[in-house]
């Protein structure tokens, strides 16, 4: 039986060229695997046929949108995952689900190697290869763009020489990765940190000042940390993201322009659009403020940062990530209730909160009639709380 290699296939130039090139260089048959994560654009059948026309012996297309939303985006939401306190892990979240489908296809088709189209400068090579190592440690990995110094010019030449059915004349200055959780844009004139992004960079969002319509007010209902309804209408996790992508995107919510620390040790300038993700995380964080006890909330913020770093660094399948998932899951047991939010002018602003699990006691918090807080207890509390510092100060001042 001829050796087979499973290729992570996007339908673009590099992976389309990769089908024939890998077959020529290795003598193996190539099975292309394309995974729909809500990135839009071409339909799956078009992508599948292109892979076959480029020489793949089989093309597997998987609609993983609901799986991605439920098993990857939802944990990120419950972790309030924002790498460097800003980036909602748009690309990082998508790689482990693609890896899962690659490993599954390799087993089904009897392949001993998987291939991807990542360069040697980015994070994705790590996410793919570390993920494969965790799920299928016996598989080998081939990375033609990185290991054989492919350039766009070489890929275009190869496509033209082999008459491949792909558009090699249109040249975009940007590198774009997108899915239902958001959109990432880099390279081109954005590599000069002084250059402001132009409107052509954006696709998921309108300019924050472009929508002169009334602000969009909505209510998101959560059950144990899961968004289950918007404005009283039941939604799945995928539907919640999609609806908020439209509604928050129309008001310019979720635009990010940041210089981030890549895993490989370099800094890169990235433009992100994540209207649904930012709106949901904002609402979820506020509901946690109402329902999660103070020490648990403080410790969870530390866990959230580490969780986001692990996912960014390609360690989705690591033992530590799995253990932190258990902690985060436990922390969500009381995160139920409703958040009212207004979308307008680039902002997702929480204006109301209510929950049967609330730890907010009006009678303890009020300064008006009905106050049940015993202020006489505060004097002794303050003295005891500051006692260690006071004793240390007396010692130090005596020297």
CA 10, CA 60: separation in Å to the nearest integer?
11
Catalytic member of 65, 124, 313, 331 = 124
Assign residue 125 the CATH number of its domain: 3.40.50.620
As a three-state string, the secondary structure of 224-252 is: CCEEEEECCEECCHHHHHHHHHHHHHCCC
* 95 catalytically annotated: yes
CA 291, CA 76: separation in Å to the nearest integer?
19
Q: Which of 130, 145, 171 is the last residue of a domain?
A: 171
Range of the domain at 373: 362-397
Question: Do 234 and 343 belong together in one domain?
Answer: yes
Annotated binding-site positions for ATP? 8-16, 117
pLDDT at 286: 98
Within a domain: residue 328?
A: no
Within a domain: residue 307?
A: no
Close Cβ partners of 158 (under 8 Å, ≥ 6 residues apart): 17, 20, 21, 164
Question: Do 188 and 208 belong together in one domain?
Answer: yes
Question: Do 151 and 225 belong together in one domain?
Answer: no
Four-CA torsion 98, 102, 108, 113, nearest 10 degrees: 180
Within a domain: residue 311?
A: no
pLDDT by 10s per residue, the chain, length 399:
689 999 999 888 888 888 988 988 899 999 999 999 998 877 888 889 999 999 999 999 999 999 999 999 999 999 999 999 999 999 999 999 999 999 999 999 999 999 998 888 889 999 999 999 999 999 999 998 888 877 777 878 888 878 787 765 555 668 888 999 999 998 889 999 999 999 999 999 999 988 777 899 999 999 999 999 999 999 999 999 999 999 999 999 999 999 999 999 999 999 999 999 999 999 999 999 999 999 999 999 999 999 999 999 999 999 999 999 999 999 999 999 999 999 999 999 999 999 999 999 888 888 888 888 888 898 999 999 999 999 999 999 987
Assign residue 384 the CATH number of its domain: 1.20.5.470
- Based on the structure, what is the number of domains in the chain? 3
Annotated binding-site positions for L-aspartate? 119, 123-124
pLDDT at 122: 86
Within a domain: residue 317?
A: no
Distance of alpha carbon 165 from the chain centroid: 31
Within a domain: residue 16?
A: yes
Q: First-to-last CA distance in the chain?
A: 84
Both tokens of 343, joined, read 């979308």
Within a domain: residue 269?
A: yes
Assign residue 232 the CATH number of its domain: 3.90.1260.10
Question: Do 82 and 216 belong together in one domain?
Answer: no
Q: What are phi and psi of 4, to 5 degrees?
A: -120, 145
* 389 catalytically annotated: no
DSSP label at 70? I
Close Cβ partners of 236 (under 8 Å, ≥ 6 residues apart): 66, 69, 70
Question: Do 286 and 245 belong together in one domain?
Answer: yes
Within a domain: residue 70?
A: yes
* Contacts of the segment 243-248: beta carbons below 8 A, 24+ positions apart: 243/276, 244/275, 244/276, 244/279, 244/280, 245/180, 245/204, 245/275, 245/276, 247/216, 247/218, 247/275, 247/279, 247/343, 248/205, 248/216, 248/275, 248/276, 248/278, 248/279, 248/343, 248/348
CA 186, CA 176: separation in Å to the nearest integer?
7
pLDDT at 159: 80
Cα-trace Rg, the chain: 25
Question: Do 150 and 224 belong together in one domain?
Answer: no
Question: Do 53 and 114 belong together in one domain?
Answer: yes
Question: Do 50 and 164 belong together in one domain?
Answer: yes
Annotated binding-site positions for L-citrulline? 87, 123, 127, 175, 260, 272
* 376 catalytically annotated: no
Question: Do 155 and 34 belong together in one domain?
Answer: yes
Question: Do 113 and 211 belong together in one domain?
Answer: no
* 175 catalytically annotated: yes
Burial 211-245 (b: 16+ CB within 10 A, else e): beeeebebebbbeebbbeebeeeebebbebbbbbb
DSSP label at 201? G
Both tokens of 379, joined, read 């004097």
Catalytic member of 48, 50, 65, 95 = 95
Both tokens of 273, joined, read 């659009």
Neighbours of 288 (CB within 10 A): 21
Within a domain: residue 325?
A: no
CA 199, CA 215: separation in Å to the nearest integer?
22
Distance of alpha carbon 145 from the chain centroid: 24
Question: Do 58 and 126 belong together in one domain?
Answer: yes
Tell me the β-bridge partners of 4: 29
Question: Do 203 and 116 belong together in one domain?
Answer: no
Tell me the β-bridge partners of 177: 184
Annotated binding-site positions? 8-16, 87, 117, 119, 123-124, 127, 175, 260, 272
pLDDT at 157: 83
Q: Which of 117, 146, 171 is the last residue of a domain?
A: 171
């Amino acid at each position: 039986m001829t050796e087979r290699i499973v290729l992570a296939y996007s339908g673009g130039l590099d992976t389309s060229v990769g089908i024939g090139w890998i077959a020529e260089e290795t003598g193996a048959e190539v099975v292309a695997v394309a995974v729909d994560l809500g990135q839009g654009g071409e339909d799956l059948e078009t992508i599948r046929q292109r892979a076959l026309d480029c020489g793949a012996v089989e093309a597997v297309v998987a609609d993983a949108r609901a799986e991605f939303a439920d098993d990857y985006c939802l944990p990120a939401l419950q972790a309030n995952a924002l790498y460097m306190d800003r980036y909602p892990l748009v690309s990082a979240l998508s790689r482990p689900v693609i890896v899962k489908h690659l490993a599954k296809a390799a087993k089904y088709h009897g392949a001993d190697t998987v291939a991807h189209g990542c360069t040697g400068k980015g994070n994705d090579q790590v996410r793919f290869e570390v993920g494969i190592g965790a799920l299928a440690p016996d598989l080998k990995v081939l990375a033609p763009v990185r290991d054989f110094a492919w350039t766009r010019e070489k890929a275009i030449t190869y496509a033209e020489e082999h008459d491949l059915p792909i558009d090699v004349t249109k040249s975009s200055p940007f590198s774009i990765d997108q899915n239902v959780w958001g959109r990432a844009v880099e390279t081109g004139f954005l590599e000069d940190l002084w250059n402001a992004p132009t409107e052509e960079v954006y696709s998921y969002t309108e300019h924050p000042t472009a929508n002169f319509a009334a602000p969009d007010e909505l209510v998101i209902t959560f059950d144990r940390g899961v968004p289950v309804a918007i404005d009283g209408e039941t939604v799945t996790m995928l539907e919640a993201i999609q609806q908020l992508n439209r509604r928050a995107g129309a008001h310019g919510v979720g635009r990010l322009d940041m210089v981030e620390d890549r895993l490989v040790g370099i800094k890169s300038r990235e433009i992100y659009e994540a209207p649904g993700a930012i709106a949901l995380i904002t609402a979820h964080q506020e509901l946690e403020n109402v329902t999660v006890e103070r020490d648990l909330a403080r410790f969870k913020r530390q866990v959230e940062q580490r969780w986001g770093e692990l996912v960014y660094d390609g360690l989705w399948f690591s033992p530590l990530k799995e253990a932190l998932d258990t902690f985060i899951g436990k922390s969500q047991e009381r995160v139920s209730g409703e958040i009212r939010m207004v979308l307008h002018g680039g902002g997702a602003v929480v204006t109301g909160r209510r929950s049967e699990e609330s730890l907010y006691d009006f009678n303890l918090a009020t300064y008006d009639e009905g106050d049940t807080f015993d202020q006489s207890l505060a004097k002794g509390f303050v003295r005891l709380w500051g006692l260690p510092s006071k004793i240390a100060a007396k010692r130090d001042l005596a020297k």
